[in-house]
Structure 1
Amino acid sequence: MPRFSIILPCYQAEATIAQTLASLQAQKFSDWEALCVDDGSRDATRDLLRYAAAGDRRIRVLRNPGKGPSDARNHGAAEAAGEVLAFCDADDLWTADKLTILDRAFAAPECDGAFGRIAFFEHRPEDSMTLSSVPQSALTIPMLLGENPVCTMSNIALRREVFARSGGLRRDMVHNEDLDWLIRLVGQGARLQPIDRVLVHYRVSPSGLSADLEAMRAGRAVALESAARFGFAPQPGDEAVHLRYLARRALRVGMGGTAALGLALHGLRLAPGRFLTPLHRGGGTLAGAALAPLLPAPLRRTLFSR
């Protein structure tokens, strides 16, 4: 039984999958298996996966029996043999010490899951200029109702039995399905520990699912229904932080000043203090939304990548 099972959903990932797999193979901790679940790719993704599997017996190639990232992740988890499931997307990269650090974290019996900090990049991971932060204590539902500190599935690992108890990700969601799942996990009592180290390099892509802002908001509404079942509702400050996040996303994907400014002003009206704190993020978002038409696209993506 391997210590870690890495669950890697893949769809049309020929441009990035080799680099992602290389980051897994570069791990200093070697006791892992990778379950690469192809979701019906029509490009060279499956051939690249088979080539990698032929050269490394820790890599397994599976076909998604359903459709979509939630089905792919659930299927990978069902086929996993490892003690701990660690999720990774097909365009993200891990630091070489990620599994070593996670192995130490999971040595504590009270740790059900763990996540770290993220560095955001567009072309090369070494050019990352923006980093996420982590809370000072275990993840709570109120933390998730503002700006999700886990951010991406590539940044979460948890014990296999904890995933099974959660019921997995909802297959009818493709936006904010991770937020809904995290809320359910924490609501069921899972203790997810933050690690104050960069463990993931997240590839910024304007064409990703998160570029569809209206669908993201609809998915968030479903996640909030899950939070309500555990007795939690977003406060105005939480909504202000979320609207700031959407405004930054709108700036990054080139939606222009009108969409971004509307989101920013809405958040500012709800809770000015929360929207503007920290000032470099809140004030910068507000100024950027007003100035977006004048900013070159590369600069806009760099400034608002998170």
Structure 2
Amino acid sequence: MPMFSIILPCYNAQATIGQTLDSLRAQSFEDWEAICVDDGSTDRTVDLVLDAAMCDARIRIGPNPGKGPSQARNFGAMIASGEVLAFCDADDIWLPGKLAELAETFTDPDIDGAYGQIGFFQDVISDASVFSTVPGGDLTIPMLLGENPVCTMSNIALRREAFARAGGFDVTMVHSEDLEWLIRLVGAGARITGLPTLQTMYRTSVGGLSTDLDAMLAGRTRAIETAARFGIHPTAQDHAIHHRYLARRALRLGDARTRALRHAMTGLRHSPAGFFKPFRRGALTLAGACGALALPRATCQSLFS
């Protein structure tokens, strides 16, 4: 039985999945299996995974019995044999020491899960200049309702029993299903610790972004309802941070010219202090939202990539 079961949903990922699997095979800690769950790819994704599996018996692939990444992750967790479940998306990259650092962390029996720092890149990981912040202390629901330091499913690993206690992902949710699941995980008593080391590189291609910002807001509302069941409610600052995030996403997408500004103004109405924390991020977002009324779409996408 391997220590880690890496669950990797994939769908039409032929452009990136080879690099993702290479990053798993480059791990200095070698006691793992990778379960690729294909969601009906029509490109060469399955062939590329099968090629990798021929070279490395730790990699296997199977079809998603349902539809969507939540079902794929639930299925992967069900058939996993490892002590620790680690999730990875088919376009992200793990740095070579990630599993070794996690293995050391999980020697503490009181720790149920862990996440690290993320670097954001577009084409090659050496171009990354923006990195996430890992707060001190264990992960809490209020943290998740604000900036959410975990950021992406590629950045979380947890013991199988902790996953079972919290339950799987809500397959009825299209957006923020990972946030809602994390809230349930922490609310169920899981102790999730942050590691102040760079472990995961997140690909920020515009093509991978959702254009349905209204659906994202609806998903967050579902997550907030889950948090309320544990007696936790978002603050005005939390709302301001989220609308700032949506404004930046609208700018990257080159969405309707007024949408970024509407989200920025909504965030400011909730909490000016929250919107401008940190000041540089808030100021640039507001400037971009105003400038988007005149700047070409491609310029906005480049500035906020």
Q: Classify the TM-score, shorter chain.
A: over 0.9
Secondary structure at the aligned position of 2:21 is classed as: helix
Counterparts of 1:200 and 1:217 in 2: how far apart (Å)? 26
Contact in 1 for aligned 2:141/2:187 (Cα 8 Å): yes
- CA drift of 1:301 comes to 4.1
Structure 1 residue 187 and structure 2 residue 187: aligned? yes
- CA drift of 1:292 comes to 2.5
2:30 match = 30
Deviations 1:197-256 (A, max 9, x none): 111110112233543211111111111110111111111111001101111111111115
How many residues in Structure 1 have an aligned counterpart in Structure 2?
Answer: 305
1:292 match = 292
2:223 match = 223
Alignment of 1:121-160 (within 5 A): 121-160=121-160
Q: State the TM-score, normalizing by the size of structure 2.
A: 0.96
2:11 match = 11
2:74 match = 74
Contact in 1 for aligned 2:117/2:200 (Cα 8 Å): yes
1:166 match = 166
1:119 match = 119
Counterparts of 1:135 and 1:183 in 2: how far apart (Å)? 17
Secondary structure at the aligned position of 1:225 is classed as: helix
Contact in 1 for aligned 2:209/2:253 (Cα 8 Å): no
Counterparts of 1:141 and 1:187 in 2: how far apart (Å)? 7
Alignment of 1:234-249 (within 5 A): 234-249=234-249
The letter for the 2-side match of 1:75 is F
1:58 match = 58
Change (3 A) 1:35 1:146: same
Counterparts of 1:111 and 1:297 in 2: how far apart (Å)? 45
RMSD: 1.4
Contact in 1 for aligned 2:39/2:72 (Cα 8 Å): yes
Q: State the TM-score, normalizing by the size of structure 1.
A: 0.96
Tell which deviates more after alignment, 210-219 or 43-52.
Answer: 210-219
Counterparts of 1:38 and 1:26 in 2: how far apart (Å)? 22
- CA drift of 1:173 comes to 1.2
- CA drift of 1:293 comes to 4.7
Contact in 1 for aligned 2:7/2:73 (Cα 8 Å): yes
Contact in 1 for aligned 2:33/2:82 (Cα 8 Å): yes
Counterparts of 1:209 and 1:129 in 2: how far apart (Å)? 19
Runs of 5+ consecutive residues of structure 2 not aligned to the other structure:
none
Deviations 1:151-207 (A, max 9, x none): 110000000111111111011112100000000000010011001111111011223
Alignment of 1:274-293 (within 5 A): 274-293=274-293
Counterparts of 1:128 and 1:256 in 2: how far apart (Å)? 28
1:89 match = 89
Counterparts of 2:302 and 2:84 in 1: how far apart (Å)? 34
The letter for the 1-side match of 2:134 is V
Counterparts of 2:124 and 2:256 in 1: how far apart (Å)? 25
1:253 match = 253
Counterparts of 2:200 and 2:34 in 1: how far apart (Å)? 16
Counterparts of 1:301 and 1:106 in 2: how far apart (Å)? 40
The letter for the 2-side match of 1:33 is E
Contact in 1 for aligned 2:20/2:90 (Cα 8 Å): yes
Contact in 1 for aligned 2:254/2:298 (Cα 8 Å): no
Change (3 A) 1:37 1:86: same
Deviations 1:253-292 (A, max 9, x none): 1115411111001101111111111111111111111112
Counterparts of 2:207 and 2:190 in 1: how far apart (Å)? 33
2:39 match = 39
Contact in 1 for aligned 2:7/2:85 (Cα 8 Å): yes
Counterparts of 1:214 and 1:79 in 2: how far apart (Å)? 34
The letter for the 1-side match of 2:63 is R
Deviations 1:83-124 (A, max 9, x none): 111000000101111101111111111110001111111111
